[in-house]
Amino acid sequence: MNTAVSQQPDAGVLLELDGIGISFGGLRAVDDLSFKIRRGEIVGLIGPNGAGKTTVFNMITGVYRPTDGRIRWHGRDITGLAPHRIAEAGIRRTFQTIRLFQDMTVLENVIAGQHLKMRQSWWQGLLNTPAQRREERELVEHAMEVLQKLDLADVAHEIATSLPYGAQRRVEMARTLVAKPELIILDEPAAGLNEQESAGLNDTIRAIRDAGITVILVEHDMSVVMNVTDNIVVINFGKKIAEGKPAEIRSNPLVIEAYLGQDDEEEDDPLLNAVHDQVNA
Amino acid sequence: MDKHMNQATPAAQAGRTRALRLAGIALWLLGLLIPQLLSPAWITIGGIFAIYSIVALSQDIVLGRAGMYDMGHAVYFGIGAYVSAILSLSFNWPILWTIPVAIVLAAALGAILSAPIVKLRGDYLLVVTIGFNAIFVLAMQNNLFGLTGGADGLFGISGPSLFGHMFGTQSDLFYLNWVVLAVVLWLMNNLDRSSLGRTFRYIKHDELAATTLGVNARNYKVAAFALSAGLAGLAGTLFAMQLSAVSPGSFRFTDSVVLFAIVLVGGQASVPGVLLGTAMMFVVPQIFTEFAQYRYLAFGVAMILVMILRPQGIWPARKGVI
């Protein structure tokens, strides 16, 4: 076995989870989870409720520190770095429950995404120097470009949390995109959206990928997952049970079992319905 | 009501901000006439108002903007006052020269004290800052390094002088305080429009979201304390000049509570709100001098009513700056 070759970073791999796990008290929330994300991919992370999907995101973004395993970014170990260091590395995320800065405008929220580009020092801000004013104008211009693309330019000066739910989701997305990250992590971007909005979301996610940003998303809305992802990782009880193309996942018996094992309340789940159809056929 | 505020067009909001700023400038200019128009007592009250406004505004940086429950803010005010008094009395420095030292030392103390505690949750941080205040008062009372004069404090601080001219009258001091207040108001105005001020607010509203955008929350929280303490230190020097004396009794825990309450009652992160709160605490009682001993009672009742009926403060901050 040629270890030298196996230690070469896999070409095109952006993010690698290598056997990560985390326990909360006695509960093993995520266990020995490994998968890779390649540049330019749209990867879906799915699984029944409580499977540990958001926990995985929290470990990638430094909110939680894994108790086992390593997370590598461009082959570099980033396990357990603080969230702001992960952001510096070029990874940005949205949240399952929208986390916009309340009482602040859409513009101010999106400018927050440019924090690491900021060059003004504290005293330039306090003294309102010409250089600082110039930078402020550039921040606004740049934020407005992104808002334009996400159809939010009209509400730039509105208080972000006063907007309809779908628009708030887009503001959160704008806040991450304005930083031009390499990887964007979307935690249930379709949650709370109506049908029309989630159809628009598919286009938005593809547009993000076409802009050269790799995407990983957790989503329950199978019309989004099955339509936009290149690759799907399925986890249940914190463990990976399947990985593959959407078509493969749809017919994977382990996945079917995981979803069938769920309570009736999940019956509206399109994947589950698809599974039922197949079983009955 | 909030809905209506949100729906105001950007142009209307900008217009209102401009009108408010013009009104503020007009009031400040009007204030310049106080020494000509009012009695000596009111000149002093005006000067005291300016000084406490600066302290309250500095408290608002930590509390209203960065969202940290600092209930020991009198420490930084006191450090500024004591540094100036000691340099002036024991080392014969002209008092104006002590200003930068007071600012820098207060800011440094703010950074040093806050660095280990900014990770604490709000209520825990509050208790620690109360502890800071208790220790500070005790240290001053015990004549620390033989410099602080013990429980009676330090007396006979001479007024400011420039090019050999003394500026020691109450009117002179009033003008000085009034001008420094204007500078501080200008700084606060700039702060709200800068990356620094915005980042404080990001941390206050959602620290986790801010950190995932690259904000080093700990550094910014320490910076908020340092900036806030520096301004309080500046006010401390003015205080030492104004009273020509400093004593531990001016920087007790209860003084910190008053500063804290001024911000909450006036309106967090709201400059007009904090000025209004300061006026309620330090000016209004002077109008009813025969009831002056009821100052805390009146303010206490006001605190209760405002917190119940108008928890956002009398003059809440405008939502959104840009």
Res A272: pLDDT: 62
Give domain limits for chain A. 11-90+181-281, 100-180
Res A205: pLDDT: 95
Residue B294's pLDDT band, with cuts at 50, 70 and 90, is confident
Residue B3's pLDDT band, with cuts at 50, 70 and 90, is very low
pLDDT digits over B74-125, tens only? 999 999 999 999 999 999 999 999 999 999 999 999 999 999 999 998 899 9
Give domain limits for chain B. 40-252
Handedness of CA A173, A177, A178, A183 (dihedral sign): positive
CA A204 to CA A152: how far, in whole Å?
A: 13
Residue A198's pLDDT band, with cuts at 50, 70 and 90, is confident
The closest alpha carbon to B105, from B78, B124, B131, B128, belongs to: B78
Residue B307 has pLDDT above 80, yes or no: yes
In one-letter notation, the amino acid at residue A209 is R
* CB contact (8 A) between residue A63 and residue B320: no
Count contacts between A and B (CB, < 8 Å). 124
Res A128: pLDDT: 95
CATH placement of domain A11-90+181-281: 3.40.50.300
pLDDT digits over B167-222, tens only? 888 999 999 999 999 999 999 999 999 999 999 999 999 999 999 999 999 999 99
Res A8: pLDDT: 52
Is residue A239 classed as helix, strand or coil in its secondary structure?
strand
Tell me which residue in B201, B214, B217 faces A101 most closely, judged by beta carbons. B201
In one-letter notation, the amino acid at residue B131 is G
Most B CBs within 10 A among A84, A106, A144, hence the mutation to make, goes to A84
Report yes or no: A185 and A45 within 8 Å, Cβ to Cβ: no
Two structure tokens written together for B17: 């901000």
The answer to whether A244 contacts chain B (CB < 8 Å) is no
The model carries a pTM of 0.91
Helix locations, B115-251, DSSP H: 122-141, 170-192, 195-205, 207-212, 217-243
Contact list in B for residue A108 (CB cut-off 8 A) is 198, 320-322
Burial of residue B297, with CB atoms counted within 10 A of its CB: 0-12 exposed, 13-18 middle, 19 or more buried: exposed
Could you report how far apart the first and last alpha carbons of chain A are, in Å? 46
Nearest residue on chain A to B201, alpha-carbon basis: A101
Nearest-Cα distance to chain A for B39, in Å, is 36
Tell me which residue in B13, B194, B213 faces A132 most closely, judged by beta carbons. B194
